[in-house]
Amino acid sequence: MSTLADILVQGVLLGGLYTISALGLSLVFGVMRLVNLSHGDLMIAAVYLALAFSFGSPEVNAVLLILVAVAFAPIGYALQRLLLNQVLDPDPLRPLLVTFGLSIVLQNLFLLSFSADTQRLRIDALTEAVVSSGAVSFGALDALILVTAIGLAFGLQTIFFHTKLGRRLRAASDDSSTLGLMGLNWRHVFGLASAIAFVVIAIAGLLLALRSNVDPFSGPSRLLVAFEAVIIGGLGSFWGTLLGAMLIGIAQVVAGTIDPGWQSLGGHLVFLVILALRPQGLMPRVAQ
Protein backbone atom coordinates (compact mmCIF):
# COMPACT_ATOMS: atom_id res chain seq x y z
CA MET A 1 0.00 0.00 0.00
CA SER A 2 2.81 2.40 0.84
CA THR A 3 4.72 3.28 -2.24
CA LEU A 4 8.29 4.42 -1.98
CA ALA A 5 7.26 7.96 -2.98
CA ASP A 6 4.61 7.98 -0.29
CA ILE A 7 7.10 6.89 2.37
CA LEU A 8 9.52 9.56 1.28
CA VAL A 9 6.85 12.29 1.30
CA GLN A 10 5.61 11.27 4.73
CA GLY A 11 9.19 11.12 6.01
CA VAL A 12 10.02 14.58 4.70
CA LEU A 13 6.83 16.04 6.18
CA LEU A 14 7.61 14.47 9.53
CA GLY A 15 11.15 15.78 9.13
CA GLY A 16 9.68 19.26 8.63
CA LEU A 17 7.82 18.97 11.92
CA TYR A 18 11.01 17.85 13.68
CA THR A 19 13.02 20.62 12.02
CA ILE A 20 10.69 23.27 13.32
CA SER A 21 10.94 21.91 16.86
CA ALA A 22 14.73 21.67 16.58
CA LEU A 23 15.71 25.04 15.06
CA GLY A 24 15.25 27.05 18.25
CA LEU A 25 17.27 24.45 20.08
CA SER A 26 19.92 24.58 17.37
CA LEU A 27 20.48 28.24 18.22
CA VAL A 28 20.41 27.72 21.98
CA PHE A 29 22.34 24.43 22.18
CA GLY A 30 24.37 24.56 18.97
CA VAL A 31 25.52 28.16 19.37
CA MET A 32 25.28 29.07 23.05
CA ARG A 33 26.03 25.48 24.15
CA LEU A 34 23.17 25.68 26.60
CA VAL A 35 21.35 22.41 27.25
CA ASN A 36 17.81 23.70 27.55
CA LEU A 37 15.58 20.94 28.90
CA SER A 38 12.63 23.33 29.05
CA HIS A 39 12.68 23.84 25.28
CA GLY A 40 9.56 21.71 24.72
CA ASP A 41 7.69 23.34 27.59
CA LEU A 42 8.43 26.77 26.17
CA MET A 43 6.83 25.63 22.90
CA ILE A 44 3.75 24.64 24.88
CA ALA A 45 3.89 27.98 26.74
CA ALA A 46 3.35 29.74 23.40
CA VAL A 47 0.19 27.68 22.89
CA TYR A 48 -1.21 28.63 26.28
CA LEU A 49 -0.30 32.26 25.68
CA ALA A 50 -2.28 32.13 22.42
CA LEU A 51 -5.22 30.56 24.26
CA ALA A 52 -5.04 33.29 26.89
CA PHE A 53 -5.08 35.97 24.16
CA SER A 54 -8.10 34.35 22.54
CA PHE A 55 -9.87 33.99 25.92
CA GLY A 56 -9.67 30.22 25.84
CA SER A 57 -11.15 29.73 22.41
CA PRO A 58 -9.20 27.38 20.13
CA GLU A 59 -10.35 29.39 17.09
CA VAL A 60 -7.41 31.62 16.30
CA ASN A 61 -6.18 33.67 13.39
CA ALA A 62 -2.78 34.38 11.91
CA VAL A 63 -2.55 37.87 13.42
CA LEU A 64 -2.94 36.53 16.94
CA LEU A 65 -0.32 33.85 16.35
CA ILE A 66 2.17 36.37 14.98
CA LEU A 67 1.50 38.55 18.01
CA VAL A 68 2.35 35.64 20.32
CA ALA A 69 5.55 34.87 18.41
CA VAL A 70 6.66 38.51 18.63
CA ALA A 71 5.80 38.64 22.33
CA PHE A 72 8.16 35.72 22.87
CA ALA A 73 11.20 37.76 21.84
CA PRO A 74 11.38 39.98 24.95
CA ILE A 75 10.53 36.96 27.11
CA GLY A 76 13.53 35.14 25.64
CA TYR A 77 15.81 38.12 26.14
CA ALA A 78 14.74 38.56 29.76
CA LEU A 79 15.03 34.87 30.61
CA GLN A 80 18.51 34.73 29.12
CA ARG A 81 19.78 37.82 30.94
CA LEU A 82 18.14 37.05 34.29
CA LEU A 83 18.54 33.29 34.51
CA LEU A 84 20.29 31.39 31.76
CA ASN A 85 23.40 33.60 31.44
CA GLN A 86 24.09 32.94 35.11
CA VAL A 87 24.54 29.22 34.57
CA LEU A 88 26.38 29.04 31.25
CA ASP A 89 29.24 26.72 31.97
CA PRO A 90 31.30 24.21 29.99
CA ASP A 91 30.06 21.65 32.50
CA PRO A 92 26.49 20.84 31.39
CA LEU A 93 25.24 20.22 34.90
CA ARG A 94 24.16 23.71 35.95
CA PRO A 95 22.18 24.60 32.80
CA LEU A 96 20.77 21.08 32.81
CA LEU A 97 19.40 21.39 36.30
CA VAL A 98 18.18 24.96 36.02
CA THR A 99 16.30 24.30 32.79
CA PHE A 100 14.92 21.06 34.18
CA GLY A 101 13.67 23.03 37.20
CA LEU A 102 12.15 25.55 34.81
CA SER A 103 10.51 22.71 32.92
CA ILE A 104 8.84 21.35 36.06
CA VAL A 105 7.74 24.84 37.11
CA LEU A 106 6.24 25.57 33.68
CA GLN A 107 4.39 22.25 33.42
CA ASN A 108 2.80 22.69 36.80
CA LEU A 109 1.94 26.32 36.15
CA PHE A 110 0.14 25.20 32.99
CA LEU A 111 -1.64 22.55 35.01
CA LEU A 112 -2.75 25.04 37.68
CA SER A 113 -3.89 27.68 35.20
CA PHE A 114 -5.36 25.62 32.37
CA SER A 115 -6.17 22.18 33.90
CA ALA A 116 -4.92 18.88 32.52
CA ASP A 117 -7.34 18.96 29.54
CA THR A 118 -5.90 18.63 26.08
CA GLN A 119 -6.01 21.80 24.04
CA ARG A 120 -5.51 22.68 20.42
CA LEU A 121 -5.58 25.63 18.10
CA ARG A 122 -7.67 25.83 14.95
CA ILE A 123 -7.64 27.88 11.79
CA ASP A 124 -10.31 26.05 9.81
CA ALA A 125 -9.13 27.02 6.35
CA LEU A 126 -5.73 25.59 7.17
CA THR A 127 -6.43 22.68 9.46
CA GLU A 128 -8.77 20.86 7.11
CA ALA A 129 -7.32 21.56 3.67
CA VAL A 130 -5.69 18.67 1.86
CA VAL A 131 -3.18 18.83 -0.95
CA SER A 132 -3.17 15.87 -3.31
CA SER A 133 -1.18 15.18 -6.41
CA GLY A 134 -1.26 11.82 -8.10
CA ALA A 135 -0.59 8.99 -5.69
CA VAL A 136 0.37 11.11 -2.69
CA SER A 137 -1.80 13.46 -0.68
CA PHE A 138 -1.09 15.39 2.47
CA GLY A 139 -2.55 18.10 4.66
CA ALA A 140 -2.03 21.73 3.77
CA LEU A 141 -0.88 22.31 7.34
CA ASP A 142 1.91 19.75 7.01
CA ALA A 143 2.99 21.48 3.83
CA LEU A 144 2.93 24.84 5.62
CA ILE A 145 5.05 23.39 8.43
CA LEU A 146 7.60 22.07 5.94
CA VAL A 147 7.78 25.38 4.09
CA THR A 148 8.09 27.30 7.36
CA ALA A 149 10.83 24.93 8.52
CA ILE A 150 12.87 25.45 5.37
CA GLY A 151 12.24 29.21 5.50
CA LEU A 152 13.32 29.46 9.14
CA ALA A 153 16.44 27.36 8.53
CA PHE A 154 17.34 29.65 5.64
CA GLY A 155 16.60 32.76 7.71
CA LEU A 156 18.65 31.63 10.70
CA GLN A 157 21.54 30.52 8.52
CA THR A 158 21.52 33.93 6.81
CA ILE A 159 21.43 35.83 10.10
CA PHE A 160 24.17 33.65 11.50
CA PHE A 161 26.61 33.86 8.62
CA HIS A 162 25.85 37.12 6.87
CA THR A 163 24.90 39.74 9.44
CA LYS A 164 26.61 41.80 12.11
CA LEU A 165 24.62 40.05 14.82
CA GLY A 166 25.51 36.67 13.35
CA ARG A 167 29.19 37.55 13.41
CA ARG A 168 28.90 38.50 17.06
CA LEU A 169 27.03 35.31 17.82
CA ARG A 170 29.68 33.15 16.18
CA ALA A 171 32.40 35.02 18.05
CA ALA A 172 30.53 34.60 21.34
CA SER A 173 30.08 30.92 20.60
CA ASP A 174 33.85 30.56 20.06
CA ASP A 175 34.94 32.48 23.13
CA SER A 176 32.46 34.62 25.02
CA SER A 177 35.05 35.97 27.45
CA THR A 178 37.14 37.55 24.67
CA LEU A 179 34.08 39.27 23.22
CA GLY A 180 34.31 41.85 26.02
CA LEU A 181 37.76 42.89 24.81
CA MET A 182 36.11 43.89 21.54
CA GLY A 183 33.74 46.22 23.37
CA LEU A 184 30.81 43.83 23.24
CA ASN A 185 28.81 42.55 26.17
CA TRP A 186 28.36 38.81 25.62
CA ARG A 187 25.39 38.79 27.98
CA HIS A 188 23.53 41.15 25.68
CA VAL A 189 24.59 39.21 22.57
CA PHE A 190 23.30 35.97 24.08
CA GLY A 191 20.12 37.78 25.15
CA LEU A 192 19.51 38.76 21.52
CA ALA A 193 20.22 35.20 20.38
CA SER A 194 17.69 33.94 22.86
CA ALA A 195 15.14 36.51 21.69
CA ILE A 196 15.45 35.10 18.17
CA ALA A 197 15.38 31.52 19.43
CA PHE A 198 12.22 32.21 21.41
CA VAL A 199 10.39 33.55 18.37
CA VAL A 200 11.29 30.31 16.56
CA ILE A 201 10.23 28.27 19.61
CA ALA A 202 6.85 30.05 19.68
CA ILE A 203 6.28 29.46 15.96
CA ALA A 204 7.09 25.77 16.46
CA GLY A 205 4.72 25.43 19.41
CA LEU A 206 1.85 27.19 17.65
CA LEU A 207 2.16 25.11 14.48
CA LEU A 208 2.37 21.99 16.61
CA ALA A 209 -0.89 22.84 18.38
CA LEU A 210 -2.58 23.51 15.05
CA ARG A 211 -1.61 19.98 14.03
CA SER A 212 -2.32 17.96 17.17
CA ASN A 213 -3.55 18.15 20.75
CA VAL A 214 -1.27 19.38 23.49
CA ASP A 215 -1.55 19.20 27.27
CA PRO A 216 0.57 20.63 30.11
CA PHE A 217 3.00 17.73 29.87
CA SER A 218 3.47 17.34 26.12
CA GLY A 219 6.63 19.48 26.02
CA PRO A 220 9.33 16.95 26.89
CA SER A 221 8.22 14.45 24.23
CA ARG A 222 9.43 16.88 21.56
CA LEU A 223 12.77 17.36 23.20
CA LEU A 224 14.87 14.29 22.52
CA VAL A 225 14.31 14.19 18.75
CA ALA A 226 15.16 17.89 18.60
CA PHE A 227 18.45 17.30 20.41
CA GLU A 228 19.24 14.36 18.15
CA ALA A 229 18.62 16.44 15.03
CA VAL A 230 20.89 19.24 16.29
CA ILE A 231 23.69 16.85 17.26
CA ILE A 232 23.76 14.74 14.11
CA GLY A 233 23.34 17.85 11.97
CA GLY A 234 26.43 19.36 13.57
CA LEU A 235 26.45 22.09 16.20
CA GLY A 236 26.06 25.60 14.83
CA SER A 237 24.62 24.72 11.42
CA PHE A 238 20.93 25.29 10.74
CA TRP A 239 20.99 23.46 7.42
CA GLY A 240 22.63 20.63 9.36
CA THR A 241 19.73 20.62 11.82
CA LEU A 242 17.29 20.48 8.91
CA LEU A 243 19.21 17.57 7.37
CA GLY A 244 19.37 15.76 10.72
CA ALA A 245 15.64 16.20 11.31
CA MET A 246 14.85 14.97 7.78
CA LEU A 247 16.98 11.85 8.23
CA ILE A 248 15.28 11.08 11.54
CA GLY A 249 11.84 11.69 10.02
CA ILE A 250 12.51 9.44 7.04
CA ALA A 251 14.08 6.72 9.22
CA GLN A 252 11.05 6.78 11.50
CA VAL A 253 8.59 6.44 8.64
CA VAL A 254 10.64 3.62 7.08
CA ALA A 255 10.89 1.76 10.40
CA GLY A 256 7.22 2.41 11.10
CA THR A 257 6.28 0.89 7.76
CA ILE A 258 8.09 -2.31 8.71
CA ASP A 259 6.51 -2.44 12.19
CA PRO A 260 4.57 0.46 13.74
CA GLY A 261 6.16 -0.29 17.13
CA TRP A 262 9.65 0.36 15.79
CA GLN A 263 8.99 3.87 14.45
CA SER A 264 10.79 5.85 17.19
CA LEU A 265 13.52 3.26 17.39
CA GLY A 266 14.35 3.83 13.72
CA GLY A 267 15.16 7.48 14.46
CA HIS A 268 17.34 6.65 17.46
CA LEU A 269 19.28 4.06 15.48
CA VAL A 270 20.03 6.60 12.75
CA PHE A 271 21.30 8.90 15.51
CA LEU A 272 23.66 6.20 16.82
CA VAL A 273 24.92 5.20 13.38
CA ILE A 274 25.69 8.77 12.35
CA LEU A 275 27.42 9.45 15.67
CA ALA A 276 29.53 6.34 15.26
CA LEU A 277 30.59 7.44 11.78
CA ARG A 278 30.83 11.20 12.32
CA PRO A 279 30.88 12.23 16.00
CA GLN A 280 31.15 15.91 14.98
CA GLY A 281 27.87 15.70 13.05
CA LEU A 282 27.12 15.98 9.35
CA MET A 283 27.64 19.71 8.78
CA PRO A 284 29.60 21.11 11.73
CA ARG A 285 30.32 24.85 11.62
CA VAL A 286 33.99 24.46 12.37
CA ALA A 287 36.03 21.84 10.56
CA GLN A 288 37.59 19.60 13.17
- Write out the residues near another protein by the rule CB under 8 A: 29, 33, 35, 83, 86-87, 90-94, 96-98, 100-105, 107-109, 111-112, 164, 167-168, 170-171, 173-175, 177-185, 220, 224, 227-228, 231, 236, 259, 261-262, 264-265, 268-269, 271-272, 275-276, 279, 285-286
CB of 222 or CB of 285, closer to another protein: 285
CB of 9 or CB of 231, closer to another protein: 231
CB of 202 or CB of 226, closer to another protein: 226
Neighbours of 71 (CB within 10 A): 16
Q: Are strands 136-139 and 130-133 parallel, antiparallel or unpaired?
A: antiparallel
Q: How far is the CB of 186 from another protein (least distance, A)?
A: 8
Beta-ladder partners of 119: 214
Q: How far is the CB of 33 from another protein (least distance, A)?
A: 7
Q: How far is the CB of 245 from another protein (least distance, A)?
A: 15
CB of 160 or CB of 210, closer to another protein: 160
Sort 123 into a burial class: Cβ within 10 Å, 0-12 / 13-18 / 19+: middle
Say how far apart CA 209 and CA 218 lie, in whole Å.
10
Say how far apart CA 36 and CA 219 lie, in whole Å.
12
Say how far apart CA 113 and CA 48 lie, in whole Å.
9
Say how far apart CA 52 and CA 58 lie, in whole Å.
10
CB of 108 or CB of 137, closer to another protein: 108
Q: How far is the CB of 83 from another protein (least distance, A)?
A: 7
CB of 106 or CB of 207, closer to another protein: 106
In 83-185, where does DSSP find H-type helix? Answer: 93-114, 124-127, 140-162, 164-174, 176-179
Q: How far is the CB of 190 from another protein (least distance, A)?
A: 13
Q: How far is the CB of 12 from another protein (least distance, A)?
A: 23
Torsion angle of the four alpha carbons 14, 248, 23, 103, in this order, in degrees rounded to the nearest 10: 90
